[in-house]
Amino acid sequence: MKPALALLVLPLLTVSAAAQEMAPFVIPTTPNPQSVMAMPSSPIAVDGPRLVASGGQFAVEGKRVRIWGVNTCFGANFPVHADAERIAARLAAAGVNGVRFHHLDTQAWPNGILDPKDPLKLHPEAVERLDYFIDQLARRGIWANVNLHVGRGPARALGLPPSGESFDKVVGLFTPALLDAQKQYARDILTHVNAYRKVRYADDPAVGFVEITNEDSLFMWGARGRLQTLPEFYAKLLQGKFNAWLKTRYGSTGSLRQAWARGSEPLGENLLAAGTIAEPGIKFAQILFPKSSIASTTRHN
């Protein structure tokens, strides 16, 4: 048993020796602005220059800027005033110059910006706290990244059928009522005048970034399977829009077949000795090409 005991003790002694050589790195809750570790910052003025994209880089008045950012999510986007001041000061002292306001729209107040009584409207206290937080960050040279569609799913509030998609992603890209609701939400946010900076979000240099929609596409998260299982209400909308686009682009079924058959070859002999192989591409196309559509006989991927 003694050799086994020795093997257990040696790693502990090694770790302890290494720990003694490390220097403590303390991140104080209230930073000291006079510390040699504190990063300098300059306020973002309401009438000052904007952060722009220039030559593939972010820049202000021609000077390249590197963004060091963090996320705040859910209720953390709406700190009380005293906390907003402390958080802004602490982030600035650590060299952070960007805060991404993520999941603003996923839940109702107090964990989100939506009104619990009407999820199509913004909660006044949430908006006021967001105003103050953005102002405190701007005073310390920190840009805001405002995310619009992250977790909001207004289909239910609008009386639409369940979409089967989290946060109404995918269907929100082509359903008119959802698009209109998202446009209104964007207007409510971006045309709102910050109570402390006295300028609309859309016009405030402190709002350096606006993300339109987060992780949302017809071609991600297993779209092949998801498009096949869309509820009928949404499937018909997508079919109609896609077939209208095909008709505008090609004019006729004959032109479509000719264009999509370019470079294709007849199917050869089945090389499998037994059994068959599934044709997921054809099955995938069926949801977009109903039998009565302009593309009903197209089989080319």
Q: How far is CA 213 from the centre of its chain?
A: 5
Domains of the chain and CATH, by start? 52-213 (3.20.20.80), 224-261+278-301 (no CATH)
H-type alpha helices, the chain: 2-20, 81-93, 124-138, 176-190, 223-228, 232-250, 253-260, 280-286
| pLDDT of res. 30 | 84
Is the pTM of the predicted complex or chain greater than 0.85?
no
Q: Are 119 and 157 in contact (CB under 8 A)?
A: yes
Q: What is the pLDDT of residue 232?
A: 94
Q: What six digits make up the tokens of 18? A: 């290494």
Instruction: Find the angle CA(120)-CA(123)-CA(125) to the nearest 5 degrees.
Output: 170
**pLDDT at res. 224:** 76
Beta bridge partners of 28: none
Provide φ and ψ at 247, rounded to 5°: -65, -40
CA pair distance 31, 93, nearest whole angstrom = 7
Tokens representing residue 290 in the block: 């109903």
- The two tokens of residue 203 are 């016009």
Task: Walk along the chain (301 residues) and give the pLDDT tens digit of each residue.
Answer: 444 444 444 444 455 666 678 888 777 788 887 787 778 889 999 999 999 998 899 999 999 999 999 999 999 999 999 999 999 999 999 899 999 999 999 999 999 999 999 999 999 999 999 999 999 999 999 999 999 999 999 999 999 999 888 899 999 999 999 999 999 999 999 999 999 999 999 999 999 999 999 999 988 877 778 888 899 999 999 999 999 999 999 999 999 999 998 888 888 887 776 655 555 544 444 545 555 444 444 444 3
> Tokens standing for 35?
């510390």
